[in-house]
Amino acid sequence: MIKTAIKTKSYAAPGANDQLKPFEIQRREPGPHDVLIDIKFCGVCHSDVHQVKDEWGGARFPMVPGHEIAGIVQTVGEQVTRFKPGDRVGVGCMVDSCKECKSCQEGEEQYCEKRNVLTYNDVELDGKTPTFGGYSERITVNERFVVHIPGNLPLEKAAPLLCAGITTYSPLAHWNAGPAKSVAVVGLGGLGHMAVKIASAMGANVTVISRSLSKKADAERMGAKDYLATSDLSAVEKARGKFDLIINTVSSAADMNTYLDMLKRDGAMVLVGAPGENLPVNPLSLIPKRRSLAGSTIGGMRETQEMLDFCGKHNIAADIEIIPIEKINKAYERLLKSDVRYRFVIDIASLK
């Protein structure tokens, strides 16, 4: 068991579907390669809700969610080279990995071939010590899993980049979104709104696919050139064969074939949305146009820093609603109704 020492206030779900409430955890004293971070803000990702509800299975309770962490370095271990006290930093979905396999060596720690350690709802590499996330006052993290937040981005608006930002940047970069590419983003939520801003800054021609027209003006403000409401069946029909790439952020079961039919020949739809259930795919949505259906998870640490630098350069950050931590249960209810423009961010000062 890793020695734990620093008492830390947090909010935890005691069990599946329980309301979150105050809880005390321990953070370890920084080891030689660790950074101790004072958390200032933490974004609320739909993955937090899936996990508190144990929709992906195997959830560990009590659970302190939160993997969109922005804060200030308090102290560093003696061998830390990349950070110093006072630095503005972020932590995303991972806090460790084997660091030796091919994926880790290539900077793709999210695909670690042994096991990466998730920021919460997981155990450290010792196989025993539970990890707790960012709905807490501070966190101790190996420096490899900490990134710098550009000085021009406010911490509260940068926090969602640590998951929503990298989860959309990584597939957009991998599938070469850019000028002359027609990119659609399905679902204008936390991930979706970051995808629109990032893909637009990459130079792609972006269309938002949402269920209704209610988010059209916002989508255009974020850089979308076109907007499609799936409630309008004639618009859906007209969009057949239109896109090179679709980033699908939908968080609950939806008909994948409708979106696949919108791909051009050789187009790809990348699932980043992760409803915890099977989604039927008709082979004839793929075969006639040699389409691909793919998935992608977050991004490696090198790419996470690259994404933050890109967002700094293009002045991109999240559209947020700041909440005190006491409002977290209400925020989960609202998130399930897509009633947020476009990310809740917890002001961690409200914990103190």
Contact footprint for Zn ion (CB under 5 A): 45, 47, 163
Of the candidate spans 78-86, 111-119, 208-216, 307-315, the one that interacts with ligand NAP by CB under 6 A turns out to be: 208-216
Q: Quick one: how far is CA 269 from the chain centroid? A: 18
* Min separation Cβ 104 and ligand NAP, Å: 17
Q: Is 189 in the site for ligand NAP (CB under 6 A)?
A: yes
Nearest to 148 by CA among 219, 84, 59: 84
Q: Is 338 in the site for ligand NAP (CB under 6 A)?
A: yes
* Min separation Cβ 45 and Zn ion, Å: 3
* Min separation Cβ 272 and ligand NAP, Å: 4
Shorter beta-carbon distance to ligand NAP: residue 8 or 103: 103
Which residue of 112, 158, 293, 335 would you call a contact of ligand NAP, by CB under 6 A? Answer: 335
Q: Is 119 in the site for ligand NAP (CB under 6 A)?
A: no
Angle at 25 between CA 57 and CA 348, to 5 degrees: 90
Say which residue the tokens 């659970």 belong to.
63
CA 215 to each of CA 109, 126, 228, 340, 342: distance values in angstroms, whole numbers, following the listed order: 35, 46, 10, 11, 10
Q: Is 71 in the site for ligand NAP (CB under 6 A)?
A: no
Q: Which residue is closest to Zn ion by CB?
A: 45
List of residues 6+ apart from 325 with CB closer than 8 A: 11, 135, 346, 347, 348, 350, 351
Q: Quick one: how far is CA 258 from the chain centroid? A: 25
Report d(CA 149, CA 89) in Å as an integer. Answer: 5
* Min separation Cβ 80 and ligand NAP, Å: 27
Whether 115 and 98 have beta carbons less than 8 Å apart is answered as yes
Shorter beta-carbon distance to ligand NAP: residue 249 or 285: 249
Q: Which residues bind ligand NAP (CB under 6 A)?
A: 45-47, 50, 163, 167, 187-192, 210-211, 215, 249-252, 254, 272-275, 297-298, 335, 338
